[in-house]
Structure 1
Amino acid sequence: MNGSTVWAGDQVSFRPAAEEHTHQVLDVLDEAAGWLGDRGIRQWPDRFPPGWVAGAIGRGETWLVDVGDKTAGTVTLDWADALWADVGGSAGYVHRLAVRRWARGLGAVVLGWAEDRARQRGVDALRLDCVAHNRSLRDYYEGRGFLHRGDARWPGLPGQRAEDVPVLWMSRYERPVAR
């Protein structure tokens, strides 16, 4: 999946988010957070502060996913994560993967793209995490070949990771990168 593919009959493309795209990234994340919140799932904050995405955007780790000429999603892919510090091996780490409700089902394409990027980088695995109580998301990851690699305590919501907030249990998932 180098750059683009087809999903539901439309062209899908991935483009790096730049500072001027911050509002687009936040719009997708806020829509997803609202949808989760309506279902009683506290995975993310109700609204993402710009500071939670600015660093990853500045480092070129955040991407916008377009279907045709519309922004359908966002994902951050980086190469280190403190939540996994106790686990060896090289990996790509998927963070803040979200798609707009009209693009439901696009997540599998985004995960395939992330695995392709990880393969190009030569890492052994693709890793991600979610709050342990989000059973439906855990089932989603497991259904896509991710193996549960244990739960870990972490302060704050994903992306927040601050010391002055309650501790959460995060479920960690990993899928080997196919060579």
Structure 2
Amino acid sequence: MKIESATVADLERLLAFRKEAAAWIGKIGSDQWSRPYPADRLLSTIEAGTVFMLRDGGETAGTITLTAEAEDGLWSERELKDPSVFINKLTVAREYAGQRIGSRLLDWAGDYAYRASAKWLRLDAWTTNTKLQRYYLDQGFMHVRTVHEGNAVNGGPRVSGWLAQRPTRIADHGFTDEAPAPEPLTA
């Protein structure tokens, strides 16, 4: 399997991934990703070069988005002084479930962040999705805190404010890495 940057041609597959993941997550009792993701926002992240695709021959096995920018209102100014890479929209195709693809993508992301001179690999997860939170803890992430208020739609509670991080590190993820080398980060 190889990992590479997403292209505009991947937009429909990424939107389908999101829909597929939302349906699966809904079956296990979470409302995460129940609202459709705006195609124009996804397109802008593809064009920014922050979306990566995991390919298995002609199939797409997974995707992950990595940014150097934190979502407003989640991380403190002190925390943001440490160079970090933030994970978004980690998704694995259902036909690849149970093959450790997600954990290997997280290892690749930690390796990518390490090569960018980041100290932390960080994420925010759905505040009510305890199974997802447990998954990240099992992957070596440490819970930092849960943000319940902030930039939520219509002034309601924040839905994705469970914050976690793990140190970056070189990893043997097993993928052929065809993504561009990361730009070095500074604090």
With structure 1 as the length reference, what TM-score do the two structures score?
0.83
Question: Are residue 109 (structure 1) and residue 104 (structure 2) matched?
Answer: yes
Q: Which amino acid aligns with 2:94?
A: R
Q: How does 1:68-107 map to 2 (within 5 A)?
A: 68-81=57-70, 82=72, 83-86=74-77, 87-88=79-80, 89-104=82-97, 105-107=100-102
Higher strand residue share: 1
- CA offsets, 1:13-72, max 9 Å, x none? 111112221111111111111111122212213432212312211100011111232111
**3-state DSSP of counterpart to 1:73:** strand
- List runs of 5+ in structure 1 lacking aligned partners: 1-11, 157-162
Q: Secondary structure at the match of 1:84?
A: coil
Match of 2:51 in 1: 62
Task: Indicate whether 1:30 and 2:25 are aligned.
Answer: no
Number of aligned positions between the proteins: 162
Tell me if 1:14 matches 2:3: yes
Instruction: Give 4+ residue runs of structure 1 displaced > 4 Å after superposition.
Output: none
SS in structure 1 at match of 2:118: coil
Distance in 2 of aligned mates of 1:96 and 1:146? 16
1:129 paired with 2:121, answer no
Paired position in structure 2 for 1:143: 138
Percent sequence identity is 27
TM-aligned CA distance change 1:134 to 1:119, over 3 Å: same
- Distance (whole Å) between structure 1 residues aligned to residue 129 and residue 30 of structure 2: 7
Question: Which secondary structure state, in structure 2, belongs to the residue aligned with residue 139 of structure 1?
Answer: helix
SS of the equivalent of 2:158 reads: strand
Q: Pick closer, same or farther for the CA change 1:17–1:150 going to 2, 3 Å.
A: same
Structure 2: where are the runs of 5+ without partners? 171-187
For residues 144 and 125 of structure 1, do their structure 2 counterparts lie closer, same or farther at Cα, with a shift above 3 Å needed? same
Q: 1:118 pairs with 108, 113, 117, which one? A: 113
Q: Aligned Cα RMSD in Å?
A: 1.7
Larger relative CO (CA 8 A, sep 6+): 1 or 2?
A: 2
